[in-house]
């Protein structure tokens, strides 16, 4: 038991925090994925693209290799709201997914990021009710636009005792773009499917 704790301690010492400094934290202290345990949809019709949160410190200048330039009309709409584009766009029929972030951590992983959904060029909603941070509770790690208007996404679920490297659970949630009041709205198809992950042996 002591050896396992020491291995986790060494591993956590190698984790770099968003300020580029070495972190000695072993666990996630502020989970942000509790919305995945509920059933409340947050997207509303005719909503505007949420503005990117202001950041006190910004590491994006050191992460140019993870950024991409705008190529689609939807890209430009996301950039106009203050977000920096990252990851590839996904397009299926009239549906387009765009990922934007406001910052990056010391390893250039997305920090304060969000996925924006568009239908025929118009904003339909976001995949999360709040921006996500890599390697924290509620951070998305898999995204699949598998049919027009239908999305499959998976999220890390950290417990308070989990090391930053290794979330002990994950949640899978499906989404559907629905028509409402002559507009297209993204709806999460709750409940999310949450399962435990095998923990790595150190």
| pLDDT tens digit sequence for 89-102 | 999 999 999 999 99
Span 151-166, mean pLDDT? 95
In the chain, % helix, strand, coil (3-state, to 5) comes to: 15, 40, 45
Tokens 């890599």 locate to 134
The CA distance from 130 to 153, in Å, is 15
Take residue 60 and report the two structure tokens written for it.
Answer: 């994006």
- Residue-wise pLDDT tens digits, 23-54: 323 333 344 899 999 999 999 999 999 999 99
> Would the pLDDT of 20 be above 60?
no
- In the structure encoding, which two tokens stand for residue 135, read together? 């390697």
Listed residue (69, 50, 52) closest to 124, CA to CA: 50
Any idea which residue has 């924006």 for tokens? 116
β-bridge mates for residue 170, sequence order = 156, 195
H-helix or E-strand containing 177? strand 169-180
Q: How far, in Å, are 135, 152, 164, 189 from residue 10 at the CA level?
A: 18, 35, 12, 40
Output the pTM of the full model.
Answer: 0.83
Q: Give 112-147 pLDDT, tens digit per residue.
A: 999 999 999 999 999 999 999 999 999 999 999 999
What is the predicted pLDDT for the residue at 61?
92
If you average pLDDT over residues 158-176, what whole number do you get?
95
d(CA 70, CA 67): 10
Closest CA to 135 of 26, 10, 8: 26
């Amino acid at each position: 038991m002591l050896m396992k704790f020491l291995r986790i301690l060494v591993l956590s010492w190698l984790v770099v925090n968003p300020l580029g400094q070495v972190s000695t934290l072993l666990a996630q202290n502020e989970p942000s994925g509790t919305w995945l345990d509920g059933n409340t949809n947050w997207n509303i019709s005719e909503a505007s693209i949420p503005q990117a949160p202001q950041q006190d410190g910004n590491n994006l200048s050191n992460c140019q290799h993870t950024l991409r330039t705008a190529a689609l009309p939807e890209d430009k709409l996301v950039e106009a709201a203050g977000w920096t584009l990252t990851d590839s766009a996904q397009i299926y029929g009239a549906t387009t997914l765009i990922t934007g972030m406001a910052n990056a951590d010391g390893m250039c992983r997305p920090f304060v990021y969000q996925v924006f959904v568009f239908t025929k060029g118009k904003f339909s909603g976001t995949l999360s009710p709040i921006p996500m941070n890599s390697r924290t509770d509620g951070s998305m790690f898999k995204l699949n636009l598998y049919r027009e208007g239908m999305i499959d996404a998976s999220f890390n679920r950290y417990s308070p005792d989990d090391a930053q490297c290794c979330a002990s659970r994950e949640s899978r949630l499906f989404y559907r773009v629905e028509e409402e009041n002559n507009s297209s709205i993204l709806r999460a198809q709750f409940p999310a499917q949450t399962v435990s992950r095998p923990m790595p042996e150190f």
